[in-house]
Structure 1
Amino acid sequence: MLLSLPQWLGDAHLVPRVAFLALTVGLIAPLVLRRTFPRTVFAVVALICCVQCIAGIAPIPANMSVLMGLYTVAAGFPFRWGLAAALTAELGAVMAAFRYASGLDDQRSTLLMLSVLVAGVWILGLHIRTRRAYLSSLEERAARLEQERDAEVKMAMAAERARIARELHDVVAHNVSVIVVQADGASFAIDTDVARARKALETISHTGRHALAEMRRLLGVLRESDDAGAYAPQPGVAELDDLVEQVRSSGLPVTYEVAGSPPEMSEGRQLTVFRIVQEALTNTLKHGGPRVAATVRLRYAGDAVEVRVHDDGRGAAAADDGRGHGLVGMRERAAVYGGSVRAAPRPGGGFEVVARIPTGEAA
């Protein structure tokens, strides 16, 4: 519109004022809707230019609206639509060159100039379209990566919660079972054997403090502001002696045997072995019955350690409320390192847990 003002205000008019005004309005007004209906606007502008050329009306500045429509179609639609618009504009350039230029040389130079202009606008539109697609793909990829990151964080949180749940189950089930057994023994011995009852109460006190310490350590993991370096190390194979002594002090006779030379094992594998033995002895305390005895055997053979815990208690006759997760937890722990757990009643009485844990990192 601004480019049309000098010609409109000038004295020399190649086009009558009425026709000039009508063409200018007809070519510029549709551009208001070029982002909403780009193909329709381009078609209308190209049609007006075609009628102008056929009528022999001289070109005016508003004819550049064809290039604006071409750019919009090329930048906003697939390649075939941009190519169709470019060919339409090139057809208009051919018509304008042969209509308004006199002489073959002028026609050739005019056609060359208009063709270069059309091709430049078309290529610019294709470039903008490609750039927009690239930026859109980057935004989509960033959004997808953010979603994947959130999903990984949620999976990690769920895995950590599951690990803490297993740890809490092992700690609480074992220590509470020891406390219950000691409390029952103290209640029976308090009238007849005060020293034994006092020893049972001391065991209850020690076991309770140990359970509280482990629970504080595990629950502390859920606190984001705490320092993870302050937590106590996880128990391993070396702590099995203390575990066996603790169970023995609760009144359960336990035989502990080790065969072979212990290889280098990661802390996670050692914790798995410790928790399996702890859970198996806890089940013996809970379900073995009176005068039950247990045996714990560790056998290091090649690239694996075999854990075997069996007792001579009730076995298949033991009551099961169906709410325990100890056996499932043992299998999950072993599966993390490519191991396996078999737990079943023994023929003739008793219960046996056999676990095989690979010791090599390759497993």
Structure 2
Amino acid sequence: MNTSSPDPRPNRLMALGAARPWLLDVAIVAAIIVLGSLPGPDRPGGAGGRLFTVALALPLLLRRRRPVGVFAAVSVVALIQWATGARAFGDTALLVALYTVAATQPLRIMLLAGGLLELGVVLAAVRWAQPHWLEAFVGLSAMVTAAGVLGTNVRHRRALLATLQERAARLEHERDQQGRLAAGAERSRIAREMHDIVAHNLSVMIALADGASYAVRDAPDRAEDAMRTASRTGRQALTEMRRLLGVLREDPGPQALAPQPGIDQIDALVEQVRGAGLPVRYDISGEPADAIPAGLQLAAYRIVQEALTNTLKHGGPTADAHVMLGFAAGELRITIVDSGPEPAAAAAEGGGLRGMRERAAVYDGLVEAGPRDGGGWQVRTRLTFAGVPAEATPA
């Protein structure tokens, strides 16, 4: 059995025609002129026929640049040939010109050119094909139809290929654009997480270190406890950093895939801030939903964390804070108020507040931050979700 690959020569010829189309045109013209010059009993000959063959074939060299003009020129030469009564093999150039018009021009122009060529077929059959003019008319009309249909199919195929290429380019552009948008969103998310982790834990560690430095002489035991808490906080921050950076690796480990903090971890967060020296009250009201999305819980945790971090950094030694979570049908309301001075609390108008607003916007929330009427600073937001309220649960 022959398992050899197909002959690659036709593909090479097609590739050569696409790369250098003028070579194909020269070959077509040369073939028409050579075949029109060969002697034969049934072949139109004579000096007049050879002259008209050359005159009909040469315009085909410009058929790609001026398809309608070339068809018109060839038609005029053919009309002169018919008027003089000379027969020439170069009439086949009319079929090549019609094919070119059909392959490059709209349908109405192709039909006009085909109708004009059909008129020439009628004139030629009546003059040179007596008494069998009907058979000649049918045969020549079939050739004209074939040239027109073949050229139209080529035009449709080219249009389809151009559409597919344009669609592929557009899809590639959209894919690249979506990739850039996804990368930007991922960078923003990582920046928010890094800011929340680093800023909060460092603020707690700085507060503990300051407290230890004040108490190291008068209360060494309290200073030792504060330094141990600072050390524990630093290890916790390092673990969270490694977990976050592990997500960026190709093969994240179990630590990188650990659950993110949620509402249940706010108690530990409040205790950590209390240990840093900031008095914090934590109240929950309403009925918690049966299933709160993990993303919303992370957003709530980070908002509370950022607000307490700002109070810890800017509130001063006499500040205190109050964290309130309120559950309602399909929403979670978060309020954090403190008694810190307004100028210091206004420093929260930076990356931290921007990160809180970005997190809240994911759940149709809006963060409102500003000074309180009675002094201090407050942060309020409301996050919505599609949860079903559970049975009455004591707060």
Amino acid at match of 2:151: G
After superposition, the C-alpha distances for 1:70-114 in whole angstroms (9 at most, x for unaligned) are: 0011111222321222122112112212221324xx333333332
Cα displacement (A) at 1:123: 1.9
Alignment of 1:1-363 (within 5 A): 2=31, 8-10=37-39, 12=41, 17-58=46-87, 60-103=88-131, 106-223=132-249, 225-227=250-252, 230-263=256-289, 264-314=291-341, 316-318=342-344, 320-321=346-347, 324-360=350-386
Deviation at 1:334, TM superposition (A): 1.1
- Shift, 1:281, TM fit: 0.5
Give the length in aligned residue pairs.
Answer: 357
- Give the TM-score normalised by structure 1: 0.91
Distance 1:284 1:258, change over 3 A: same
Contact persistence 2:212–2:227 (CA under 8 A): yes
Post-superposition offset of 1:357: 1.2
The 1-side partners of 2:135 and 2:50 are apart by 29
Pair 65,7 (structure 1): closer, same or farther in 2 beyond 3 Å: closer
CA shift digits 1:220-271 (9 cap, x unpaired): 3334x23376432211011111101110110111111122332110110000
Structure 1 range deviating more: 88-97 or 22-31: 22-31
SS in 2 for 1:306: strand
1-side partners of 2:372 and 2:283: how far apart?
19
Letter of the 1:39 partner, please give it. V
Separation (CA, whole Å) in 2 of partners of 1:227 and 1:56: 88
Deviations along 1:157-194, one digit per CA (max 9) or x if unpaired, are: 11111111111111111111111111111221122222
Q: Contact conserved, 2:310 with 2:345, CA < 8 A, in 1?
A: no
Give deviations 1:246-300, integer Å, cap 9, x for gaps.
Answer: 1011011111112233211011000011011101101111121112111111121
Structure 1 letter corresponding to 2:261: P
Alpha-carbon offset, residue 9 of structure 1: 4.2
Matches of 2:108 and 2:173, distance apart in 1: 34
Q: 207-216 or 16-25, which moves further after superposition?
A: 16-25
Please tell me the residue identity of whatever aligns with 2:79.
C
Distance in 2 (alpha carbons) for counterparts of 1:201 and 1:11: 113
Contact 2:36 2:45 in 1 (8 A): no
Note if contact 2:37-2:45 (Cα within 8 Å) is conserved in structure 1: no
Give the Cα separation in 2 of the matches to 1:179 and 1:159: 30
CA distance in 2 between counterparts of 1:153 and 1:111 reads 62
Query: Distance in 1 between the 2:263 and 2:139 partners?
Result: 87
Contact preservation (8 Å) 2:32, 2:57:
no
Task: Report the Cα distance in structure 2 between the residues aligned to 1:335 and 1:351, rounded to whole angstroms.
Answer: 21
The Cα shift of 1:11 comes to: 5.8
Contact 1:339 1:356 in 2 (8 A): yes
- Separation of aligned partners in 2, 1:94 and 1:279: 91
Post-superposition CA distance 1:291-340 (Å, at most 9, x none): 211111112122211111111221x2426457722222212211111122
C-alpha displacement of 1:31:
2.3
Q: Do the aligned partners of residues 66 and 299 (structure 1) sit closer, same or farther apart at CA in structure 2, a change above 3 Å counting?
A: same
| CA shift in 2, pair 1:259/1:135, >3 Å | same
**Residues 259 and 14 (structure 1 numbering): CA distance in 2 closer, same or farther, change over 3 Å?**
closer
Relative to structure 1, the CA distance from residue 91 to residue 361 in structure 2 (aligned partners, 3 Å threshold; closer, same or farther) is farther
Shift of residue 139, structure 1, vs aligned partner? 1.4
Gaps of 5+ in 2: 1-29, 389-395
- AA aligned to 1:187 is S
Question: 1:130-150, CA deviations, whole angstroms, 9 ceiling, x for partnerless residues?
Answer: 121112111111111111111
SS at match of 2:369: strand
Separation in 1, partners of 2:175, 2:260: 29
- The answer to whether the 8 Å contact 1:236/1:274 transfers is yes
Shift of 1:2: 4.9
Moved more, 159-168 or 29-38: 29-38
Q: Secondary structure at the match of 1:305?
A: strand
For 1:79 and 1:31, how far apart are their aligned partners in 2? 21
Distance in 2, matches of 1:4 and 1:333, equals 78
Percent identity between matched residues is 47
Q: Is the 8 A contact 1:7 1:13 kept in 2?
A: no
For the residues of structure 2 that align with 1:268 and 1:216, how far apart are their CA atoms?
Answer: 20
Closer, same or farther: CA 126–6 of 1 in aligned 2, 3 Å = closer
AA aligned opposite 1:41: V
Q: Give the whole-Å Cα distance in 2 for the aligned partners of 1:11 and 1:107.
A: 22
The change in CA–CA distance for 1:11 and 1:83 in structure 2 (over 3 A counts) is closer
Aligned partners of 2:261, 2:209: CA distance in 1, in Å?
26
> How much has 1:7 moved relative to structure 2?
6.7
